[in-house]
Amino acid sequence: MLVRNSDSDCHTKCNFGDKRLTDRALYIQDHLRVKYGQPLSKVFKNASDLKRTYEFLANSKTSFQLVTEPDIYQTANKVKDFPMILSVGDTSFLDYKKIKIRCQVESYRLAGNSMEVLLGFLTTISADLLRMTYLHRTQPESPAEQIFTPVQIKVLKAKSLSRKKPQSVETIKGAIEAIARLGGYLEHRRKTPIGITVLWRGWLELMSLCEGWELRETL
């Protein structure tokens, strides 16, 4: 589930052997979701958080496997009761070259284990985006609240109402198409499947809008 709150995020199950590392993993994941592709100095607002992030990435207790393992187990748990799992070759896959390009991995200026751990976070974000494209195809009429938070739905609804022809965002199909439009998806190409790149751009824009929405509610 891409937009889960931190309290229920699968990263709470990261087994680093230290609760402080787990809390830091949640903090890093939350910030990367909003500002991935930017240098870490811009992802984190102060020097203390930036320093702790670099320390986390370089910590010998962290690894790519430990960061991604909870997400893998979460997926396995969802399908454990299925009598049969059919694995079909799909055009949707995790291309690490594209992940590096789209996330501008080089801008993080990391190497060795630190880069591998960072890629673990980026991989889970990428996999979640792929799940969104899958749900758009397979469960289009399911309620949007199954995978989106109330704030995200409110923001998408507000953006939709600002259009000449408002469209419902109450279903997964409507919400994901609204996100795609934020990423530059063209209305006259509705018969063209929503791609991961446009969804990626739209998701980043939605995260920025949600951040502004939540700041407004604190006033």
Say what the pLDDT of residue 172 is. Answer: 93
Confidence of residue 52 (pLDDT cuts 50, 70, 90): very high
Scan for tokens 């899958």, then name that residue: 134
Residue-wise DSSP of 147-159: TS-HHHHHHHHHH
pTM, two decimals, is 0.71
Say what the pLDDT of residue 185 is. Answer: 86
Counting every residue written for the chain, the total comes to 219
Confidence of residue 173 (pLDDT cuts 50, 70, 90): very high
- 171 DSSP β-pair partners: 143
pLDDT tens, residue by residue, 125-144 = 887 888 888 888 888 999 99
Say what the pLDDT of residue 7 is. Answer: 37
How far is CA 172 from each of CA 70, 81, 106, 135, rounded to the nearest angstrom? 24, 24, 34, 7
Q: Between these two residues, 118 and 85, which has the higher pLDDT value?
A: 118
Domains plus CATH for the chain?
A: 1-81+88-127 (no CATH), 139-219 (1.10.740.10)
